Structure 1
Amino acid sequence: MNKELDMFGISPLGWLHTLGSLPAIPAAAYMFARHGRIVPRSKAGAAYFVSMLIGAVTVVFVAHQPVGYAIASVTLLLLLVGYGAALLPGRGRAKAYVETVTLTLTAFLLMLPTVTEILRRVPDGHPLVTDLQSPLLLGAQGLLLVALLAGLAAQVIHLRTQARAHRAMR
């Protein structure tokens, strides 16, 4: 196999998966920093959706373990629910909660394998982590979980505060 195409042990199809899903990371970071959540009806939200869709669909061709298929399936389901939340029947703030929580979970499910794969492949030929039970890997995954829980808590508090302010204005 061509060494340039096999850099970091990633096949050409793996590169399609990686480069196709990569734009979701800065799009999510931008929306979290600017809006505190992923905003589906925005340019960054559209880029996030397309990139996540590419990543979730192409993982079928590159995953070597059932956990990869499971993460992709759950991510795809959450992505569709999150982007479709505005179409749910009825009124009320529940749609905002469904949208915010499901899309935040997709960002977590993007970052979990991303961090794992980076630590298992970089630097090329001498990765930082060679064992899935490595303290560095488990620590990084733990930090992602803490960030998820703190982020979800902050988002829910913000949504509740907005709802109270909206009710008070009526």
Structure 2
Amino acid sequence: MFGLTPLGLLHTAISLVALWAGYQSLLQRGAIDPRQRLGQVYLWSTVLTCLTGFGIFQRGGFNEAHMLGVLTLLVLGLALLPLRMRWWPYAQTALWTLTLFFHMVPGLTETFTRVPRGAPLFTGPDDPQLQATVGVVFCAFAVVMLLQMLHRRRRARSRGPAGTRTAL
């Protein structure tokens, strides 16, 4: 199907679970939180997506897509660090959202260099229109990250010194 190997089909199915969990988490909670069930599904399906992606070499050897998998795993690891700095929760929120953007890059590339069948929208990863599309998606994610930071800041300001809610 669409020139995918069995590993490619498994990889795609797992990545769709990760995308679903990531977007559901954003819609329901405003952020991907690994302490919540959807966040756990997102975390582990993202790890599996990266690991299965390392075995796919249809575009030659180890390439940019594989490097994106390594980068995604590094960012996930960083986002899981339990640092105790005042700004760290903001950074974690941005890092989780960044990993969701990382899912979109190969997702857009692999989908729209194959679909519609026989006349795909993009010719390959270097297609300028694809690169522009990825740029637009990045800008959308940057706006989402900004909105998340503003929401987190607003919530922090509405809490008292001991973390209790105060009347505004």
The alignment's TM-score, normalised by the length of structure 1, stands at 0.84
Matches within 5 A, 1:35-54: 35-54=29-48
Aligned-partner residue type, residue 89 of structure 2: A
* Larger deviation, residues 59-68 vs 34-43: 59-68
Matches within 5 A, 1:1-170: 7-63=1-57, 64=59, 66-82=63-79, 84-85=80-81, 87-88=82-83, 90=84, 92-167=85-160
Specify every segment of 5 or more residues in structure 2 that has no aligned partner in the other structure, as ranges: none
Please report how far the alpha carbon of residue 95 of structure 1 lies from its aligned counterpart in structure 2 after TM superposition.
3.3
- Calculate percent identity across the aligned residue pairs: 33
Number of residue pairs the alignment of both structures matches: 160
d(CA) in 1 for partners of 2:160, 2:135: 38
Specify every segment of 5 or more residues in structure 1 that has no aligned partner in the other structure, as ranges: 1-6
Q: Which is richer in helix? A: 1
Runs of at least 4 residues off by over 6 Å:
none
CA contact (8 A) 2:109 2:124 kept: no
* Larger deviation, residues 131-140 vs 69-78: 131-140
d(CA) in 1 for partners of 2:117, 2:39: 32
Please report how far the alpha carbon of residue 136 of structure 1 lies from its aligned counterpart in structure 2 after TM superposition.
3.8
d(CA) in 1 for partners of 2:66, 2:110: 15
Aligned-partner residue type, residue 166 of structure 1: R
d(CA) in 2 for partners of 1:32, 1:112: 18
Q: Which residue of 2 aligns with 1:3?
A: none
Aligned-partner residue type, residue 107 of structure 2: T
Please report how far the alpha carbon of residue 127 of structure 1 lies from its aligned counterpart in structure 2 after TM superposition.
1.6
